[in-house]
Structure 1
């Protein structure tokens, strides 16, 4: 029994206890024998890929939270991408009736949204093709298309998270266009604003920062007035995105203007998930770091000031918390704080392994650290190998 396998067993046991489950409960949820669970937890047996994925699903985490070197999720995601593509190829053609009831479909889309916020990409990839197919079928057969169109948007956004993170940029763009096609049927300007927020991915990919900023400012002008938390969050999220893309384009004045508006809109709004996007005071701090890093190395002191006595709480989605540490690591690298940068990367991995592994800045920072740093070379080598950037 290797040390790695033994570590898997301990991590499974720790996660199970955190969830307040007994071994028999985990065995039942994972459809495994109690003897198998006991053997894995005490390190007497190595979990197969299928067993590890079943245990992870039962615990509500991605398998890489239990075994950081696990690559089955990546294989599963890439294998699912053609099926996701096929499921939306005839989005405007009435398909067969949905296989799920409206209530079942509503719950399934809710699960997919939660998986996206938790960076559980393997679970999304597994269910996305059927979920998209059912959502589109419901749209074409429902007497009232508004609810069904909302489900299409939710399913497509979750699938887009997988496509975008795993480099399937053409598929990501198609999923975003699917959202833009469906959202007018919802007749909800707040959801329209949310889709405009997601659309910015296409501008990031193309490095079309000026065009992306103009598109976001148009969406801000069209968004409802901030008359309550939901509306404030919708407008604020657009300003949040605009600040980052302005920073990527080197427009410090526009970045500061949108960051200031974002900050004002967050006042009095509790941090939370609004239409699938985290928004609130903690998100302001995270995006202050993001904007500083986007503007370049001359602005890193601002990132350090934010992070000096603060770190994102567990109330935030895993993907956003992980992103904070990845961007802070980039600033720390520029500031020659090499040890701190490596600690930030490890913090990002502990929170959302898959998000960290697929993030280009995490790879770039780790590889540069290995090239520049001489201490703790073995750990850096292992980390870079885990990223697949060796």
Structure 2
């Protein structure tokens, strides 16, 4: 059944705040956020930013997923996605069992193509299709790597673990995404691939970004940068380094360090001039577009919504850019538009994001919060907004 409108992040914050016997003013003071912002978030009038959610979670001694309500089990069951999680969980536990005698793996090139196809499905937000295929491919790639260990075989296996991270993250299973990253590290080490190892540190830093542990995230970015120094100087390494700079920019922005965030954005922009659009290089989507999108995001994280929206209006997303990245950017803009009181524009942006990446946006906490804010802002709810609210599980 859909959730009642009261079950938004603000309502959960209020519940945990009362459990800790704190007033709104006390919580706002301890979390170093404004009282008026907290009041609006608890009322569901305005969407909470990830930085605010993280600050409140730390103050209340809970995890961010406790406040976002992830994973959204009712909707996962409706979409029959919950049944696909257990096979992924089991596949992630096969890594040290050696070759499965019941599996005759395909040739290395075929397995690499299959792994790339899974990455493509995720970027196109065909999460259900990717999740169905993933466990079998992990098992096959595991057997292949144990039967004929090679750099290529371990790289393919690392790629399947990367896809497991992507899927479990998008569906809200934070515990599994951490396991997937551990497995990716295990495979990358055997592949002796410093670029894969560096990318794994980037992904790991994003986990800590989401949980509000910014200092740990920054340390992981530093480790990733050091690891990439072991790779040969080429476009692939520049792409990975550039993406680490973008991760560092988000960590700095959420921790309130706008100057450092701007420095990392500038360095990423410099690298992107050399790399160009690198959509398929380790599926990082690095390039001038991703730099521009991160510039918008870092401004939004600093509550500079007018500037973020202004810059977003100048961003032109290439036609071959992954739907997952484009939709996430548009959802970010929708949140900023709502904070600026531009409800109609925000609703249009959310509809666009939904059309681009329906499976991803249905499970995106930012989308749910923005929808809840739009519902609260309208005395009479338009039909399009009502449909969107029911679709994300608010009703």
TM bucket (normalised to shorter chain) is 0.7 to 0.9
What does residue 285 of structure 2 align with?
Answer: 278
Q: Distance in 2 between matches of 1:283 and 1:328?
A: 14
Range that drifts further, 174-183 or 268-277 = 268-277
Contact 1:210/1:246 (CA < 8 Å) preserved in 2? no
1:347 aligns with 2:352: yes
User: Which of 126, 133, 139 is matched with 1:133 structurally?
Assistant: 139
- Tell me which residue corresponds to 2:46: none
Structure 1 residue 308 and structure 2 residue 298: aligned? no
Is the counterpart of residue 210 in structure 1 residue 207 in structure 2?
A: no
Match of 2:383 among 375, 378, 383: 378
1:67-123 Cα deviation digits (max 9, x unpaired): xxxx78964321011111111213112131443312332221121111121111001
Q: Deviations over 1:122-167 (max 9, x none)?
A: 011101111111111112111x331111111111111221111112
Of 243, 262, 272, 1:266 maps to: 272
Describe the SS at the equivalent of 2:333. Answer: helix
The offset of 1:300, in angstroms, is: 1.6
Taking the aligned partners of 1:104 and 1:196, their CA distance within structure 2 comes to: 27
Q: Which of 106, 122, 127 is the equivalent residue of 2:112?
A: 106
Deviation at 1:325, TM superposition (A): 0.3
CA distance in 1, matches of 2:391, 2:245: 35
Cα separation, 2, equivalents of 1:132 and 1:73: 24
User: Do the aligned partners of residues 371 and 89 (structure 1) sit closer, same or farther apart at CA in structure 2, a change above 3 Å counting?
Assistant: same
Match of 2:188 among 168, 183, 188: 183
Alpha-carbon distance between aligned partners in 2 of 1:162 and 1:257, rounded to the nearest angstrom: 31
- For residue 262 of structure 2, what is the aligned residue in structure 1? 256
Does the CA contact (< 8 Å) of 1:286 and 1:312 recur in 2? Answer: no
Pick aligned residue for 1:83 from 81, 87, 90 = 87
**Given that residues 239 and 258 in structure 1 are in contact (C-alpha distance below 8 angstroms), is that contact kept between their aligned partners in structure 2?**
yes
Q: How does 1:10-89 map to 2 (within 5 A)?
A: 75-89=79-93
Is the CA contact (8 Å cut-off) linking 1:96 and 1:137 kept in structure 2?
yes
Higher relative contact order (CA 8 A, sep 6+): 2
Report which stretch shifted further, 366-375 or 176-185: 366-375
**Which sections of structure 1, spanning at least 5 residues, go unmatched?**
1-70
- Counterparts of 2:138 and 2:183, CA distance in 1: 11
The aligned counterpart of 1:334 is 339
1:317 maps to 2:307: no
Out of 98, 102, 106, the position equivalent to 1:94 is 98
Counterpart-to-counterpart distance in 2, 1:76 and 1:192: 33
Q: What is the TM-score with the length of structure 2 in the denominator? A: 0.76
SS at match of 2:285: strand
- For the Cα contact (< 8 Å) 1:267–1:281, is it kept in 2? yes
Corresponding residue pairs, total: 317
Cα distance, 1:173 vs. partner? Answer: 0.8
Aligned to 2:275, the other structure's residue is in SS state coil
TM-score of the superposed pair, with normalisation by structure 1 = 0.77
Q: How does 1:287-306 map to 2 (within 5 A)?
A: 287-295=294-302, 297=303, 299-306=304-311
Cα deviation code 1:253-311 (max 9, x no counterpart):
2211211111111113221221121011111111111111222x2x1233122122333
Consecutive unaligned residues of structure 2, counting only runs of 5 or more, are: 1-74
Q: 1:73 touches 1:121 (CA, 8 Å); kept in 2?
A: no
Q: Which residue of 2 aligns with 1:243?
A: 249
**SS of residue matched to 2:274:** coil
